[in-house]
Structure 1
Amino acid sequence: MSDDTDFVALYNELGLDAECSMLHFKHAYRRRVMQLHPDHQRQPADVARLQRLNRMYAAALDFHRTHGRLPGASRPTPAAADEDAGATPFVDTLAPAPTPAFVTPGRAWTRESESANDIEIDAGPAPVTGFPRRRRYLLMLALLALALYWWGAQKTSTPSLDPAGPGDAVSPGLGAPDLSLRLAVGMDHPQARRILGDPESEHAARWDYGPSWVEFRCGKVTGWYSSPLRPLKVDEESAHAATAEVPHC
């Protein structure tokens, strides 16, 4: 079955079955065209899907003209014009029925114009007359967010003389002290305390931090053990140079 005669997909697209009336069939088709047409503002247009819907709809109308029923129907399907006299007009309860997109602007809709436009529907993209207001607002918000992000990054990287301010963010080369964030071999007691904090148990040659510990000799760090249960902020690479860097008392 080709795409043009895939009537199961057509009925699924329109939300109908093969036993529906022609009046409901045409109303459902026009409502679906509204949703897929490029002029529709409530959701993005799908031109390829609309063109395929047009071909399947035209094939269904040809089948009805030849066999007197819709494809897959078990009984004859009366034409939409025959039902208008005695049947209750179909009312769309889901959404207000706007003017069909395929009716020429400024021209009153009639049933003759409906028949003439059943198959030939211009599905090409509509000319863009202006940038939608909603997209303009979204673009302005995105630019504002980028400006705020850039301003915050510049503020964070600006040196501060306030002791309570972001002192660690001082740019190198401005005379700021070199504040190490990890313990290294050869550091003294004040540096170790600033990085690791106060130990749980403190001795001249060893500080204990729970299962972890740091060893000292002559007031300088000589080594450590960083337990996975309480890891220490240490420089693992400096441990390999412990013999060369640790001074002798």
Structure 2
Amino acid sequence: MTHHTDFMVLYRELGIGPDCSLEGLRMAYRRRVADLHPDRGGGLGEDRLKALNQRYAAAIEFHRHHGRLPGAAARVPASAPPAFAPAPVQSHAAHAVEDAPLQEGRAPSKFVRYGIVLVAALAAWWFIRGGVPLPGFLDGVAGSERGTQASAAIALRQGMHAREVAAILGDPVSRELGGVHWEYGPSWVRFECGRVVDWYSSPLNPLKASRSRPREAVASGSAGLAPRCPPGS
């Protein structure tokens, strides 16, 4: 019966189109049946109501088989995604190419930095010992090394000659005990045979010394007597 049913007549009578949903078809059919009922004064006859019921039943049967109303465009079922989509396999070469920019931008490791500093220090030491002029990139390292040596050379130390002391400390405020005790305010330097044997560096007027007193002070003279110094000392 479905093949011989004119569904366009059904759609015009219900006021819908082929693309209407099944629920919309049912609601339109119920409204139309209510309008045709004799109790509401339809007065269109039993045959017309029977024809409407037949077309409606045919439309419902068609929808049950095809999932759509007659005349509607056929729906293309969407393809379901695969349950498991394997990740694309990349070769080791591809990983190497992708990682290359990251590797180029990485900073050198601490071992590389320590190695560079060590090589520079050794090169500076070699050139200083040999008296060879340093290249520009090593001059900074050598300069700091020379500065350390220079500061150590000008520090007051035991055995230093009186001329060296005067060169680095200047003339004393006074020379006592026959010239062997030089006063620099609260600080002082003591000599024996023209060489430094003891000193005291006061915080109020510190001397150019590595410590306030030498490690071991040398006794000056014996029993208050002047020490015997070699000629020319």
Compute the TM-score of the two structures, normalised by the length of structure 2.
0.35
Compute the TM-score of the two structures, normalised by the length of structure 1.
0.33
